[in-house]
Amino acid sequence: MFDASTIWAHLCRVREKNPLVLNVTNNVVTNTTANALLALGASPAMTHAPDDAGELASLADAVVLNIGTPASSYIESMFKAGQAANAKGIPVVLDPVAAGATAYRREVVAELLKRVRLAAIRGNASEILYVAGEQGSSKGADSTNASEEALDAARSLATRLGAVVCVSGARDVITDGRSVLGVDNGHPMMTKVTGLGCTATALVGAFAACAPMKDGADDIGGRMAATTAAMAVMGLAGEVAAQDAPGPGTLLVRFLDSLYAMDEALIRSRLKLAAL
């Protein structure tokens, strides 16, 4: 059974292993992402240099690719990091920011899906609908679709890629193509801090780096559990941070503190998780 004790076990695993998570991410969120990984108990590495990315990826425990600011050098770095990670069996997590918004982003996503094997994808409903080949609507990087609207698309995409797919929103929906879990933790004020969605993807990378194996091999069930744990911890930290916060600036500082201080009692008392 997937419950609070499972979430806590995954968080303990991250804190014990202190995984190195390489982020080839957008230039809006690097600082927030790095600080969140440190507060969680992971170790961040960042690069946008193609000559650096492949070598760094081979040293990492997980690689996170984020197309939010898709400069050509960033994209080349993503291909090099993703392929180097694949060669060593290191999990790769994709955040397809505003995937369907422009022809260039559409081309980048198509090439990443062709050339890099993904362990997980996290995006909002509009992004997941686009990546799955369906029509979603967005306002910049923000979704105008509810997460449940992308559930069928997420299942189909997960099955096709052999990846875990997370659709984030008021309810975070996670699927491996068969089972579906929903996390209802979080707070609306989190949407007023740029980059917290991207930060969620980085946390998925940290948890995926520590996902339990099955008979010494990669297991999609382990990745499903790890992704769900990451989204639960993310939502819980945001929920606690928003309590009595006068605005999003305070929330961001408290969010980092909440990640750092999270314990089993808090998870047990506040987790909102359901099989869908």
- Which residues define the annotated binding site? 46, 122, 168, 195
Query: Known binding site for ATP: residues?
Result: 122, 168
133 φψ region: left (φ > 0), alpha (ψ -120 to 50), beta (else): left
Cα Rg for the chain, rounded, in angstroms? 17
Scanning the structure block, which residue is given the tokens 């707070």? Answer: 187
Is 85:91 a contact under the CB 8 Å cutoff?
yes
Distance separating alpha carbons of residues 85 and 91, to the nearest angstrom? 7
Closest to 43 in 3D by CA, of 209, 197, 166, 200: 209
Distance separating alpha carbons of residues 119 and 27, to the nearest angstrom? 23
Burial class (CB in 10 A: 0-12, 13-18, 19+), 192: middle
244 φψ region: left (φ > 0), alpha (ψ -120 to 50), beta (else): left
Beta strands in the chain (DSSP E): 20-24, 43-46, 62-66, 92-95, 120-124, 138-139, 142-143, 164-168, 172-175, 180-183, 273-275
Query: Known binding site for substrate: residues?
Result: 46, 195
Mapped onto helix, strand or coil, the DSSP state of residue 166 is strand
The H-or-E segment that residue 125 falls in is: helix 125-131
